Amino acid sequence: MSSRERILGRVRRALADVPRDDTPYERAVERAYLREHGGLGVEATVDLLAENLADYRAIVHRATEEELPAVIMRLLAEHGSPYVLVPPGLPPEWLSAGGPTRVDDRAESTPAELDGVASVVTGCAVAIAETGTIVLDGGPEQGRRRITLIPDHHICVVRVPDQVVASVPQALGRLDPARPLTWISGPSATSDIELDRVEGVHGPRTLEVVLVGGE
Amino acid sequence: MSGTFVGMPAFPVAAREAVGDGTLRANLRHATHTIRAKRANAVAEVSDWAALREAGKQIKDHTLRRLDDYLVQLEEAVTAAGGVVHWAADADEANRIVTALVKETGESEVVKVKSMATQEIGLNEALEAEGIRAYETDLAELIVQLGKDRPSHILVPAIHRNRGEIRDIFAREMGEWGRAAPEGLTDTPAELAEAARLHLREKFLRAKVGISGANFMVAETGTLVVVESEGNGRMCLTLPETLISVVGIEKIVPTWRDLEVFLQTLPRSSTAERMNPYTSTWTGTSDGDGPRVFHLVLLDNGRTDTLADEVGRQALRCIRCSACLNVCPVYERAGGHAYGSVYPGPIGAILSPQLRGTASEIDASLPYASSLCGACYEVCPVAIDIPEVLVHLRERIAEGGEVTREGNKVVLRPAKGHAAERAAMRAARWAFARPGVLRAGQRLASRTRRLHPRSLPGPGRAWSATRDLPPVPAEPFRDWWQRTNGGKDGAK
């Protein structure tokens, strides 16, 4: 007997006391919890996102579409990055104000090569206000998972209010599980020393989020 | 389960030693009290916590009731997405599968994400025996590995170490494993984290094989989820060419939507955060992004035996948040090592004896490693009634009874050492069923109360060594009731 058959057989014998229940799954679980907390308006939801991002030590900026290139250029200059990594589908105007040398992520780029680049600029798939989370799904503006992991400085552009949802349940509804997802809530951190939170371990130690939109 | 902790003394012996260690007690007290208040705040922020907790419980219970169907569905979905699924009935089989998979790649080192399942099966030791070095990359696991230590907490395996001890371990050991700690390393947490970053980076960048567990597996989509903080998880899950995930069969949830419950309750219960810094989800393999080869090893190792116990099976709802450890007065004083298992604390006290059986001294003593105060049940995000299971397991140990081991029903004999307890309970049962006998006994106890010793003689001595005997009233309640007409006569 294969271990597969052995385990499935053990499961079935273990459940011998459980009556067969064919309630469809949609009705099997009582979901009395909220779809979102607070029912805030659009503007207040964006404010909450900014507040919660900052609470976990992400640095939050706001800009209009016109201001965005200048803001990105300034953030890269302030970080002193000679190179900036870009995903294949990054809107060209985001880096149109000049600044560091662009490094395009290519399939053959090795982790060691990526380690030589200080900053990365990406978009995102969705941002969650209640938890201060941005989610990347590997779309053209975001690129492979590794490019937002190895550089020490990540600038992430969030289009507000379109890409902002209030809650985790709303975010899951917008995301495609077939894509590899990375949920990011602040710079990397650890609670492993005396259960006290310290920012900055293996992922980017500086996370800057630019909320772009409006006039 | 593995033999990592073979030869552990029973809990009371190990705990007595731990309680005498002043540094350990101070470290544990500081850490558990820090997280307690934070967790309470993080939970209070969400007004629908009770509903989330109930939904989490129901999702897990429903899944367990149809675990066979969901396992098959998961296998199909993972396979369709480009993954390869393996089944391991026990620790040895899981270790053999993983070792063979690593050998196939031709590599002799792997990077690991913190994983309870691989701790449980003793994977690192099994790989080491075959000449494969496994590097732990979670900060606390690194501290444990470098310190040649054992984990003592589910979330923070090095919780028993304070910053000064961690500094010493890094300064002394890092050079042996790779890049040495920076000169003049101090004990500030930020510097210690930086030292770990530098030490591990070269390992991440060259790693060809990553090994992980998973917090959740979604049956309908074949998606795996890893929740973490440091980014070491992302490194191991995305940079290597081959990824091997070893996951307990109880980690399944039926649908993608179910994550909306656990991604709210797990971070708040665990690190007391609204959301942990990084969560990775992946479904099989993706073109050009992440590992090209993905293996999923589904692990039983005592889980189906636990599932067979109608009361005890609720332990399989556990999402390994460790909130129960952080509030437990026994854990706070005894520390994690006394539990003799990678699963310490209240959840360990009900999980280890079910996964491993109660044949060893340590496992037979674990259900007694509790004051039954119930704080663990209060904080559990999937509402596991840990005290209920503890009492159930105590009864099993004292009275014996039917259990399932490796898929077979066996009858346990009553444990030795509980003979006096059983005799006392039999006597009580007899007396309570006979009102006349009970009345006579109570009167006798009241009249002789000045003569009662402060502790019990003979076999009762051990019991009263840690407990005060209750004072006997001057007049039994039943006599008082009769004399005063139930208090209506106003007499005292």
Residue A31 resides in a domain: no
Task: Output the pLDDT for position B491.
Answer: 62
3-state secondary structure of B1: coil
* Every domain of chain B and the residues it spans: 419-484
Q: Is residue A27 in a domain?
A: no
For A15-138, where are the alpha helices, taking DSSP H only? 25-28, 42-55, 68-79, 111-114
Helix (H, G, I), strand (E, B) or coil at B392: helix
Question: How far from each other are the two terminal CA atoms of chain B, in whole angstroms?
Answer: 60
DSSP code of residue B406? T
Q: Give one DSSP letter per residue of B148-166, joined into a string.
A: T-----SS-TTTT--HHHH
Between β-strands A153-159 and B133-136, what pairing exists: parallel, antiparallel or unpaired?
Answer: unpaired
Using 50, 70 and 90 to split pLDDT, how confident is the model at B183? very high
Q: From residue A160, give the alpha-carbon distance in Å to each of A51, A63, A75, B122, B305.
A: 14, 10, 19, 48, 51
SS3 A208: strand
Asked if residue A54 belongs to a domain, the reply is yes
Other CB atoms within a 10 A radius of the CB of residue A146 amount to: 21
C-alpha distances in Å from residue A182, one per residue of A21, A178, A200, B210, B260: 36, 13, 17, 17, 15
In the block, residue with structure tokens 């902002």: A164
Percent of chain B with pLDDT over 70: 97
Q: pLDDT truncated to tens, each residue of chain A (215 aa)? A: 899 999 999 999 999 999 988 889 989 999 999 999 988 999 999 999 999 999 999 999 999 999 999 999 999 999 999 999 999 999 999 999 988 999 999 888 889 989 999 999 999 999 999 999 999 999 999 999 999 999 999 999 999 999 999 999 999 999 999 999 999 999 999 988 887 778 889 999 999 999 999 75
Q: What pLDDT is recorded for position B2? A: 47
Supply the ipTM of this predicted assembly: 0.96
Contact B47 A193 (CB under 8 A): no
Whether residues A184 and B277 touch (CB distance < 8 A) is answered with yes
Contact B290 A203 (CB under 8 A): no
pLDDT at B276: 95
- Measured CA to CA, the distance from residue B435 to residue B478 in angstroms comes to 11
Q: Distance from first CA to last CA of chain A, Å, rounded?
A: 68
* Inter-chain residue contact A169 with B404, CB threshold 8 Å: no
What's the confidence (pLDDT) of residue B447?
A: 86
Residues in A touching B312 (Cβ below 8 Å): none
Query: What is d(CA B418, CA A212) in angstroms, rounded to the nearest whole number?
Result: 70
pLDDT tens-place string over residues B253-266: 999 999 999 999 99
Q: Report DSSP letters for B180-248, one per residue.
A: PPPTT--S-HHHHHHHHHHHHHHHHHH--EEEE--SEEETTTTEEEEEESSSHHHHHHHSSSEEEEEEE
Measured distance CA(A37)–CA(A35) in Å, rounded: 7
Nearest to B99 by CA among B137, B119, B78, B128: B128
Q: State the greatest distance between any 2 C-alpha atoms of chain B, in Å, as a whole number.
A: 90
Chain B nearest-CA distance from A215, in A, is 31
Whether residue A35 is contained in a domain is answered as no
Burial class for B92, CB neighbours closer than 10 Å (0-12, 13-18, 19+):
middle
Phi/psi for B370 (5° steps) reads -160, 150
The pLDDT value recorded for residue B145 is 96
Number of independent structural domains in chain A:
1
A111:B288 CB<8 A = no
- Could you tell me which of A1, A177, A28, A20 has the C-alpha nearest to residue B69? A20
Residue range B34-64, pLDDT digits in tens? 899 999 999 999 999 999 999 999 999 999 9
Residue A22 located in a structural domain: no
Q: What is the largest CA-CA distance in chain A?
A: 69
Residues of A in contact with B307 (CB under 8 A): 10-11, 14-15
pTM tops 0.90: yes
Q: Calculate the dihedral angle through the C-alpha atoms of A28, A32, A38, A43, rounding to the nearest 10 degrees.
A: 20
Query: What's the pLDDT tens digit per position in B268-279?
Result: 999 999 999 999
- How near does any CA of chain B get to the CA of A117, in Å? 14
Interchain pair A30, B158: CB under 8 A: no
Helix H or strand E segment including A5: helix A3-14
Closest by CA to A7, choosing from B127, B248, B444, B357, is: B248
A168 part of a folded domain:
yes
Contacts of A172 in chain B (CB under 8 A): 256-257, 259-260, 263
- Kindly tell me if the per-residue pLDDT of B4 is higher than 70: no
Q: Report the run of H or E that residue B69 belongs to, with start and end.
A: helix B67-80
Q: Residue A160 is part of which domain span? A: 40-212
Q: What is the pLDDT of residues B329-340, one digit of tens each?
A: 999 999 999 999
User: A98: domain CATH number?
Assistant: 3.40.50.10420
Q: Is A166 exposed, middle or buried (0-12, 13-18, 19+ CB in 10 A)?
A: buried
What would the pLDDT profile of B399-417 be if each residue is shown by its tens digit? 999 999 999 999 998 877 7
Q: Tell me the residue length of chain B.
A: 492
pLDDT in tens, B187-203: 999 999 999 999 999 99
C-alpha span between B155 and B6 (Å, rounded):
23
Q: What's the pLDDT band for B101 if we cut at 50, 70, 90?
A: very high
